Homo-oligomer: A and B are copies of this chain.
Amino acid sequence: MEGVVTIKDVAQKAGVVKSTVSNVLTGRKFVSETLKKKVLDACRELNFHPNFYAAGLSGGKSDIIALVLESNDDVGRTFYSELVMSCLKQASANGYSLLIYYSSDNDKLINILRQGNAPIDGAVIMSPCVNDERLEQIESDRIPCVVVGRPENDYLSYVDIDNKKLVRDVCEALNKNKDKEIYLINSHFDLTISHDRQKSFAEYCAACGTDAQTHSFVSKNSDENDGYLLSRDIVKKSAVIITANASLAKGVYRAAEEKGLKVGEDVAVFALGRHQEHGTFAPKLSYAYQDYSVLGKQAIDLLIEEIDNGHSGRNVLIDSQPTFTQSVEKFL
């Protein structure tokens, strides 16, 4: 009784033929109750478990979802770990295991997405991985994919923070009477997130009769120094400065201090992206919390939908709740 137990053994034991066993197991074809029971009993007695590779080779599902992460960016552990854990939880809740690819080899990462190259039914991809034309090449025999963060390509579904709404909300909240000078210090334009924010900001400016051109800036490194340099000339009484992240905001604080302006009182500062504390801010920085748990969960849900029903073209935008604290206190 040694060696691997195959459906052939089960078939013999149950007194049927291989395909009947297969039909019982996959449930794709009707089999009489009597035979079904015989087969199931035989499976149990022989302790049969189907071979994963063989099933996959002949077109079965793997019940595995991939999470594709690029390991180049150091974007902090807590960030990834929240996404990973929420994907894991949601995938498991739906009967899937989670296979995590974490590599800096973009080529390798992309090849995973081809049909049959990896034991997966679909993949959730962290945005940076897909800024690549090669993805387009394999469009034909690609497995279902969902991207976290809006990708440049328009043929992939995605889940993202609703950045446009966020920017609009923040602008409106901090410039209720449209009597303030409002500015956006954006991150580099390689990121689609920057485009979305810029666009929304421009729309807001248009509605206010403000010149968006002179009121928005693109930062190269998105760091404190950039924030300082770009805000130096614009910080003034009654200015609202919205930055792409907390580091840039830090620079704005410095510029304000240099001019003897009080953040929260003379000038409002708000960071659009902020996940955890990046150092301390006095007065406390207002920001929008990026909830990667929700992103992960929604991505898995959307992916499973695509696995089951094919590409829907549906995308999911998630509301990001701005937290208004000391740094905008007098502007609310």
Contacts and interface: CB of A to CB of B under 8 A. Distances in A.
Contacts of A103: 92
A117 interface: yes
Interface stretch (A78-86, A172-180, A323-331): A78-86
Contacts of A80: 85
Say what secondary structure dominates the interface of chain A.
mixed
B92 A84 contact: no
B52 A118 contact: yes
Interface string A49-72: 111111011000010100000010
Contact of A64 (B84, B99, B114): B99
A49 B119 contact: no
Interface string A81-114: 1001100110010000111111100000001001
Contact of A99 (B57, B97, B116): B97
A309 interface: no
A322 to B, nearest CB: 26
A84 B88 contact: yes
A53 B116 contact: yes
A141 interface: yes
24 contacts: A4-B115, A4-B141, A49-B117, A51-B57, A52-B117, A52-B119, A53-B57, A53-B119, A54-B57, A56-B56, A57-B57, A62-B119, A64-B99, A80-B85, A81-B84, A81-B85, A84-B84, A84-B85, A88-B100, A92-B102, A97-B99, A97-B100, A99-B99, A119-B119
